[in-house]
Structure formats: C-alpha cells, structure tokens
C-alpha cells in the first residue's frame, strides 16, 4: 500500500505517520525529516535547504523530488510507503505521478488531516521531539509518561525545531494555503482523497485513518 498524508504544518502528519507505518509494515518517507538529516550531515542539499527551511519557505521542487525519487525505489519500500509532507506543490504532484508511473506504482490513498488554524499554532508552539528515536511530543497534548524521559527509547534529551517560531509559522501556513491546498481538488478529482477530522485526539485520528485504508 502506498499513501500520502496531506495537511498543514502541525496537523499531526508525523505523529500519525509513525503509527500507521508501524501497524501496516510500510516505510515513512518524510521530506522534512530527510531535509533535516541532510542539514545535520552537512551535505550539499542540506546547505541549500537550511536557510530556506528556517524561514518557513518551501525548498525547491527539484531538490525534494530528487530525494523522494531516489528513496521510494529502495528495497525496504517494497511493501509500500507513506509520503509525509510530500507533495507540497502542483509541480511536485505531477513529478510524483511521473516517477511512480515509471516504476509501475500508484498511490492508493491520499489522507487529508483537517485542523483549524488556531489549533495549528498551539500545536507547533508546544512541539518537541526525541532526536534519538524521532518520537514526537507536545508540552500540553502529548507529554511523555515520565517527565523528561522518552517513552519509546528512554532518551532524556529533547529538541525543538528552529522553524517552530511565530514568524516562520506564518510563512509556512501561507505556503500551505497557496501551494499545497490546491492539491486537495487535484486528488479529489481522481477519487483518491479521504478527509479525517484532525481536531480529534491522537488515538481517535489514528482510528479514523485506519478505518479508511
Ligand atoms: P506535522 O507533522 O503535521 O507538522 P506533528 O505530528 O509534528 O505535525 O504534530 C504537531 C504537534 O502537535 C506535536 O507536538 C504533536 O505531539 C501534537 N499533536 C499531533 N496530533 C495531535 C492531536 N490529534 N491532538 C493534539 N496534539 C497533537
Ligand atoms: P511541517 O509539516 O510541520 O511544516 P515538515 O517537517 O514536513 O514540517 O517540513 C519542514 C520544512 O521542510 C518545510 O517548511 C519546508 O521548508 C521543507 N519541506 C519539507 N517537505 C517539503 C516539500 N515537499 N517541498 C518543499 N519543501 C519541503
Ligand atoms: Zn526516543
């Protein structure tokens, strides 16, 4: 099964992606995570993406299409993959169609996670994660069971993203509304789109997604 998670920044894409891939035995392909890994590694792509991401702008289509196209043909994706945060522009969606067709693959579901703008700002403002295992947390909505200790790996250091600021958030929401939201009718027209209520609790959103895939 191959699927796309579509939604604004802070909608819960990463949180839900981790749960779905675990239960379905597929691979999570998060372009945001891949770009952050490239920055950490100091690669060419990382150097090109770093300032753009910090401002909340979109990285160029060429770069993200390149990293996805390289990744989904790897053997660990044979069982399927979940795209988290890609595509984000019409050009990326069209490029994805092309590389999938070349590989004889298709997208089975596009799941839209719908969340109010006010809630998004609250979610992003409180977001932190475990750099060791990638588990996602929130100051109010999703705290670790033991304060300061990661539920999944026992790690005790957490990080916050440099683009989870009020300024970058405004730019990111704007990029979503102008560049990414137009993909909803694009996928709806081919009957691949399902919408879930992302305002619900984390477990409930997972149940809604599992019910449709
Ligand atoms: P995205 O990948 O779409 O940017 P995340 O999965 O990182 O979003 O979620 C953003 C923040 O909101 C995280 O701190 C996460 O713990 C929290 N969160 C995710 N889903 C929910 C939910 N349904 N209700 C409340 N908080 C949530
Ligand atoms: P979120 O959904 O919480 O905004 P991501 O981790 O998906 O965060 O993305 C973080 C940043 O990485 C984006 O603001 C953008 O700069 C860059 N990025 C990620 N995916 C893409 C993409 N498909 N196209 C362009 N830029 C991207
Ligand atoms: Zn951890």
Supply the DSSP symbol for 12: S
- Per residue in 189-203, pLDDT (tens digit) is 999 999 999 999 999
Please tell me which residue in 172, 188, 190, 207 is annotated as part of the active site.
172
- Per residue in 158-169, pLDDT (tens digit) is 999 999 999 999
CA of 186 to the centre of ligand 3 (A): 37
| Residues facing residue 83 across a β-bridge | 4, 29
Active site residue 161: yes
pLDDT at 179: 98
Please tell me which residue in 48, 57, 161, 188 is annotated as part of the active site.
161
Please tell me which residue in 13, 19, 57, 160 is annotated as part of the active site.
13
What are 167's two structure tokens?
């300024």
Closest ligand by atom to 154 CA: 3
Active site residue 48: no
CA of 58 to the centre of ligand 2 (A): 6
Q: What would the mean pLDDT of 164-192 be, rounded to a whole number? A: 96
Nearest CA to ligand 2 atom 19: 32
Active site residue 127: yes
CA of 117 to the centre of ligand 2 (A): 17
CA of 30 to the centre of ligand 2 (A): 9
Q: Which residues of 13-42 are buried (b: 16+ CB within 10 A; e: fewer)?
A: bbbbbbbbbeeeebbbbbbbebbbebbeee
pLDDT at 55: 96
Task: Tell me the pTM.
Answer: 0.96
Closest ligand by atom to 88 CA: 2
Percent of the chain with pLDDT over 70: 100
Phi, then psi, of 93 in degrees rounded to 5: -65, -40
Nearest CA to ligand 1 atom 23: 202
Active site residue 140: no
Cα four-point dihedral sign 115, 38, 150, 129: negative
């Amino acid at each position: 099964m191959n699927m796309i998670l579509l939604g604004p920044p802070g909608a819960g894409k990463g949180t839900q992606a981790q749960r779905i891939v675990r239960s379905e035995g597929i691979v999570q392909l998060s372009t945001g995570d891949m770009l952050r890994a490239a920055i950490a590694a100091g690669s060419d792509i990382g150097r090109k993406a770093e300032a753009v991401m910090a401002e909340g702008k979109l990285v160029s289509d060429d770069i993200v299409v390149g990293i996805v196209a390289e990744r989904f043909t790897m053997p660990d994706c044979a069982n399927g993959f979940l795209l988290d945060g890609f595509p984000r522009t019409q050009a990326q969606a069209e490029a994805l169609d092309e590389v999938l067709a070349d590989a004889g693959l298709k997208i089975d579901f596009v799941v839209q996670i719908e969340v109010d703008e006010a809630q998004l700002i609250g979610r992003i403002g409180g977001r932190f994660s475990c750099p060791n295992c990638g588990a996602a947390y929130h100051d109010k909505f999703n705290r670790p069971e033991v304060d300061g200790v990661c539920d999944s790996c026992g790690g005790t250091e957490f990080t916050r993203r440099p683009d989870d600021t009020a300024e970058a958030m405004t730019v990111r929401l704007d990029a979503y509304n102008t560049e990414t939201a137009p993909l909803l009718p694009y996928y709806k027209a081919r009957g691949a789109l399902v919408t879930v209520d992302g305002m619900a609790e984390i477990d409930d959103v997972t149940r809604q997604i599992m019910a449709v895939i």
